[in-house]
């Protein structure tokens, strides 16, 4: 596939900016209004996943819980296909989880368990570490890209990267999707992918900048459009293949990485989108600022 | 012809090695607990006495002691690692008597000698641990594996213990002559004999009306290793073996389906170069497994996810190269020079974009814990391997085919004659 005509991405970037800003505001509202739907990892208590050889109903499980001395309101049962999830709001004591296992094994001999006991402090700490990791990564990226390219590329790439990460968080908040520890891993991966995707396009802009002198704004806009168009098929193909990988993980992967894959799928779409519609036009905006007054703006380590 | 022969030999030899070694390698991959079942506990350590500090040394010693206990209980390959300044992560796979192991691990079994010096006057019916508030000697003051069962004059079983620093013990006993020196195992008082004289031989005796079995049990608990620090469980995960296997199987299935779709897409898009790209991707995956086995990395579920996603990202390197070659052909270059130029300029692009991703991965590895660390590790290894296979190897194979004149028409690169601009 090869497009004969070139798309005007500079023009298209306006609605894209509006779209992203609207979504960002919606995300901020959603986040401040109802926050995130934290999964087990962020709430104290115990989480029990049981794999069974048959389907059970919540009614069948309830007596088991009474037998181990857990009040009805302290446990939440979610039956699934040949599996059941029980979420306890209090941490199960050692003898309790043994009893629970024994009781459920009475219902089904081949039951297999996954029991997690969580101290929410740990998950929060991991989340905090992840935020630090992102910020420190940003500094690393700024330094590297400023050396290899220039600071305008670095800044534009960082904005796009934070945009992608925030979009995933926002969508998870708006649609009340469950946030677990793997979600943090997913957001970090998206950041890795997003920067990778953006740099490839920037590389082409850098290359095209070498040929010929761009004097006016029109020249720059034309150069940008040309560069993005040159990389368009690559961007689409790559986004498609990575999307395929994440999508199949979401569709067929194990229960524990479903939400991870979903976050990846959403993030990948935004990552491909932001490279073209956010990062590149932003670079152009920064570059415009430089042109009229001859004095170059000092690089800032934002 | 020589080049074609080289190409065929390289491909056949590589394919042969991969086919021959893969089954063995797959068995050699060390699987994480989430994939094979087992349990993981994260402990937070605190000093035995308030006000004491946790040193790097005491944390390491606690970890070693935990490992000893796990080994003594006959578990296979327990993994004990220290984290940060006050945490210890314990992983034990394939345990059948989980509850017992857990209890034994957690039992601090810390032997202490305490006195009532400087303590508040005991309230009525106060617990012994409240009466004897001052810790005189801690577990690490006693000789390791030094406890033994003996008999006193009345032929009652007693437990003999040895103190490492005779002088310290002498000082303590001298100071406490006429007072009680209580012997505690954790918070349970075993006995509180009155000190009659200064003890200079560094030997102490725990007596009580123990049966021989009880005495032996106490001896074993003491010898299992007193933990220099107190541990509390912060996080625990226990995965049943069936559940772990199911997760692994499902994820691998999803990965295989995804990979096949990607490979088919590459071949459909790029024809013969697409086949080379697919070959590069397969070698890439094989190398990744090889690195895992050689470096003895543990593969966890997030690792598998990174693994499969990394394949998607490795495809990018091939796409960039092939798109670049197409572009050069469209600009009117000959096939030979287009492939050369395409390989060269795509290399820089791939390097820059991959290095930035490695920076992200390295930061994740440095700051992350547990799942994040495992994920970052796979990501970094994968990017490095991707540069080797999807840049060097595929570029090499492609140029062999071009020089061997097997690839000479633009059509073979998926470029129509009508798209080519004259120079």
Best of B244, B258, B304, B324 to disrupt the A interface by mutation (most A CBs within 10 Å)?
A: B258
Closest Cβ–Cβ partner in A49, A98, A137 for B359: A137
The tokens describing B133, both together, are 């508030």
Contacts of A133 in chain B (CB under 8 A): 363-364, 366-368, 372
Rounded to whole angstroms, the Cα distance separating B330 from A237 reads: 19
Considering only CB atoms, which chain A residues are within 8 Å of B362?
Answer: 140
Contact B305 A257 (CB under 8 A): yes
* Cα(B414)–Cα(A93) distance, integer angstroms: 64
Please, what is the average pLDDT of chain A? 82
Place of tokens 């990892």: A41
Q: Do B265 and A251 touch (CB under 8 A)?
A: no
Q: Is A253 on the interface with B (CB under 8 A)?
A: yes
Q: Which two tokens stand for residue B44?
A: 């937070």
Q: Can you give the pLDDT at residue A201?
A: 93
ipTM > 0.85, yes or no: no
Asked if the model's pLDDT at residue A30 lies above 60, the reply is yes
CA distance A140 to chain B (A): 7
Of the two residues A152 and B208, the one the predictor is more confident about is A152
> By CA distance, what is A264's nearest residue in B?
B309
pLDDT in tens, A119-141: 767 777 777 877 887 788 888 88
**Cα A273–B359–B323 angle (5° rounding)?**
45
Residues A49-62: b if buried by 16+ CB within 10 A, e if exposed: bbbbeeebeeeebe
Query: How confident is the model over B351-397, as pLDDT tens digits?
Result: 888 888 888 888 878 877 666 777 788 888 888 998 888 889 998 99
| Residue in A closest to B356 by C-alpha | A141
Å between A292 CA and nearest CA of chain B: 30
User: For B40-48, what is the mean pLDDT?
Assistant: 82
How many other C-beta atoms can be found within 10 angstroms of the C-beta atom of residue B64?
15
Contact between chains at B239 and A119 (C-beta distance less than 8 A): no
Phi then psi for residue A45, to 5 deg, are 135, -170
DSSP secondary structure, B196-235, as one string: -S---S-EEEE-SS--HHHHHHHHHHHHT---SEEEEEEE
- List, by residue range, all CATH 1.20.1640.10 domains of chain A: 9-38+122-292
Taking CB atoms and an 8 Å cutoff, what residues of chain A touch B233?
Answer: 117
Residue A173 tokens, joined = 């908040």
What tokens appear for B46 in the block?
Answer: 């605190």
pLDDT higher than 90, residue A202: yes
* Residue A282, pLDDT above cutoff 90: yes
Structural element, H or E, at residue B76: strand B76-83
Question: DSSP characters for B300-326?
Answer: -HHHHHHHHHHHHHHHHHHHHHHHHHH
What confidence category does residue A154 fall into, taking pLDDT thresholds of 50, 70 and 90? very high
* pLDDT, average across residues B273-283: 91
Tell me the fold of A45-117. Answer: Alpha-Beta Plaits (3.30.70)
CA distance B322 to B415: 11
- At A298 the pLDDT is 47
Give the β-pairing of B203-206 and B229-239.
unpaired
B-interface mutation test, from A196, A233, A268, A269, most B Cβ less than 10 A away: A196
In degrees to the nearest 10, what's the CA dihedral of A5, A9, A10, A16? Answer: 150
Task: Find where tokens 């930035």 sit.
Answer: B356
Using the Cβ of A49 and the Cβ atoms of chain B, whether some distance falls under 8 Å is answered with yes
Task: Report the share of chain B in percent with pLDDT over 90.
Answer: 7
B299 pLDDT band (50/70/90 cuts)? confident
φ/ψ of B97, rounded to 5, equals -100, 60
**Nearest by CB: A260 against B258, B305, B366:** B305
Name which of A227, A205, A240 is nearest B316 in CA terms: A240
- From A92, which residue of chain B is nearest by alpha-carbon distance? B236
- CATH of span A9-38+122-292: 1.20.1640.10
Q: What is the pLDDT of residue B46?
A: 83
B196, exposed or middle or buried, with CB in 10 Å at 0-12, 13-18, 19+? exposed
Contact (CB, 8 A) for A190 and A267: yes
Paired tokens of A125: 């700490």
Which three-class secondary structure state does DSSP give residue A214? coil
Return the closest-CA partner of residue B263 out of B272, B274, B253, B252. Answer: B274
Whether the pLDDT of residue B154 is over 70: the answer is yes
Residue B25 has a pLDDT of 87
- B355-388: buried (b, 16+ CB within 10 Å) or exposed (e) per residue? bbbbbbbbbbbebbbbbbbbbbbbbbbbbebbbe
* pLDDT for the residue numbered A191: 84
Q: Is the pLDDT of residue B234 over 80?
A: no
Mind telling me how many Å the CA of B282 is from chain A's nearest CA? Answer: 15
Q: Is B45 helix (H, G, I), strand (E, B) or coil?
A: strand
Mutate to test the interface with B, among A208, A241, A259 (most CBs of B within 10 A): A241
Using pLDDT thresholds of 50, 70 and 90, give the confidence band for residue A4. low
The H or E element spanning position B108 is none
Q: Using an 8 Å CB-CB cutoff, list chain B residues near A2.
A: 326, 330, 415-416, 419
Q: What is the mean pLDDT of residues B211-219?
A: 77
Answer yes or no: is pLDDT of B196 > 90. no
A197 at the B interface (CB within 8 A)? yes
Which two three-digit tokens encode residue B195? 């000190």
Q: Among residues A279, A267, A222, which one has the least CA distance to residue A242?
A: A267
Residue B136 pLDDT > 60, yes or no?
yes
Q: Is the pLDDT of residue A155 over 60?
A: yes
Domain with CATH 3.30.70.3220 in chain A: 45-117
Task: Compare CB distances from B360 to A111, A121, A195 and report the shortest one's residue.
Answer: A195
**Predicted pLDDT at A165:** 92
Q: Which residues of B touch A240 (CB under 8 A)?
A: 265
B85, with CB counted inside 10 A (0-12, 13-18, 19+), is exposed
The reply to whether A13 touches chain B by the CB within 8 Å rule is no
Cβ distance of A253 and B311 shorter than 8 Å = no
A121 to chain B: which residues are within 8 Å by CB? 234
Q: In B, which residues are within 8 Å of A252 by CB distance?
A: 250, 253-254, 257
Q: Token pair of A285, please?
A: 């905006």
Tens digits of residue pLDDT in B61-71: 788 878 877 77
Q: Would you call B149 helix, strand, or coil by DSSP?
A: strand
Q: Residue B423 in 3-state DSSP?
A: coil
Question: Is A203's Cβ below 8 Å from some Cβ in B?
Answer: yes
């Amino acid at each position: 596939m090869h497009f004969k005509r070139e798309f005007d991405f500079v023009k298209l970037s306006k609605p894209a900016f509006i779209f992203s800003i609207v979504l960002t505001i919606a995300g901020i509202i959603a986040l401040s209004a109802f926050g995130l739907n934290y999964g087990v990892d962020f709430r104290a208590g115990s989480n029990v996943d049981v794999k069974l050889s048959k389907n059970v109903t919540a009614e069948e499980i309830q007596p088991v819980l009474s037998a181990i001395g857990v009040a009805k309101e302290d446990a939440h049962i979610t039956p699934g296909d040949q599996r059941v999830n029980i979420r306890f709001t209090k941490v199960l004591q050692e003898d309790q989880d043994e009893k629970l296992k024994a009781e459920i094994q009475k219902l089904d001999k081949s039951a297999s368990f996954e029991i997690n006991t969580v101290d929410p402090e740990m998950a929060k700490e991991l989340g905090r570490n992840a935020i630090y990791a992102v910020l420190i990564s940003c500094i690393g990226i700024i330094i590297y890209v400023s050396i290899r390219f220039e600071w305008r590329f670095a800044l534009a790439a960082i904005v796009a990267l934070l945009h992608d990460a925030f979009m995933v968080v926002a969508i998870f908040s708006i649609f009340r999707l469950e946030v677990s520890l793997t979600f943090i891993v997913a957001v970090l991966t998206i950041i890795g992918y997003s920067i990778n995707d953006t740099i490839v396009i920037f590389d082409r802009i850098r290359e095209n900048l070498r040929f010929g002198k761009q004097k006016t704004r029109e020249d720059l806009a034309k150069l940008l459009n040309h560069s993005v168009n040159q990389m368009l098929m690559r961007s689409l193909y790559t986004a498609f293949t990575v999307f395929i990988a994440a999508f199949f993980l979401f569709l067929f992967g194990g229960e524990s990485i479903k939400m991870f894959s979903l976050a990846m799928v959403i993030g990948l779409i935004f990552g491909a989108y932001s490279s073209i519609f956010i990062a590149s036009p932003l670079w152009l905006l920064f570059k415009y600022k430089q042109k009229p007054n001859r004095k170059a703006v000092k690089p800032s380590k934002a | 012809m020589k080049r074609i022969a080289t190409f065929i030999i390289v491909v056949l030899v590589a394919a042969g090695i991969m086919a021959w070694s893969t089954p063995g390698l797959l068995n050699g991959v060390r699987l994480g607990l989430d994939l094979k079942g087992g349990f993981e506990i994260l402990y937070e350590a605190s000093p035995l006495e308030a006000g004491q500090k946790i040193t790097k040394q005491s944390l390491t010693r606690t970890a070693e002691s935990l490992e000893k206990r796990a080994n003594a209980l006959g578990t296979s390959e327990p993994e004990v690692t220290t984290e940060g300044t006050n945490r210890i992560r314990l992983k034990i796979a394939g345990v059948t008597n989980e509850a017992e192991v857990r209890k034994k691990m957690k039992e601090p079994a810390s032997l202490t000698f305490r006195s009532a010096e400087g303590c508040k006057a005991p309230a009525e019916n106060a617990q012994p641990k409240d009466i004897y508030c001052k810790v005189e000697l801690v577990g690490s003051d006693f000789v390791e594996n030094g406890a033994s069962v003996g008999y006193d004059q009345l032929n009652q079983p007693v437990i003999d213990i040895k103190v490492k620093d005779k002088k310290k013990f002498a000082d303590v006993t001298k100071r406490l002559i006429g007072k009680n020196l209580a012997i505690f195992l954790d918070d349970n008082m075993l006995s509180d004999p009155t000190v009659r004289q200064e003890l200079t031989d560094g030997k102490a005796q725990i007596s009580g009306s123990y049966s021989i079995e009880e005495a032996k049990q106490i001896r074993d608990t003491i010898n299992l290793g007193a933990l220099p620090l107190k541990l509390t469980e912060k996080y625990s995960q226990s995965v049943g073996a069936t559940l772990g296997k199911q997760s692994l199987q499902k994820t691998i299935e999803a990965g295989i389906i995804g990979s096949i779709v990607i490979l088919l897409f590459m071949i459909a898009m790029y024809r013969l170069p697409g086949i080379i790209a697919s070959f590069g991707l397969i070698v890439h995956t094989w190398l990744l497994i090889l690195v895992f086995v050689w470096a003895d990395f543990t593969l966890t579920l997030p690792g598998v996810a990174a693994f499969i996603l990394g394949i998607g990202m490795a495809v990018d390197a091939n796409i960039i190269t092939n798109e670049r070659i197409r572009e050069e052909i469209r600009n009117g270059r000959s096939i030979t020079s287009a492939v050369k130029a395409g390989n060269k300029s795509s290399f820089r692009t791939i390097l820059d974009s991959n290095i930035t991703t490695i920076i992200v991965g390295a930061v994740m590895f440095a700051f992350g814990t547990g799942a994040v660390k495992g994920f970052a590790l796979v990501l970094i290894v994968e990017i490095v391997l991707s540069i080797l296979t999807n840049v060097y190897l595929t570029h090499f194979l492609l140029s062999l085919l071009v020089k061997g004149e097997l690839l000479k028409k633009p059509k073979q690169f998926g470029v129509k004659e009508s798209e080519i601009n004259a120079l």
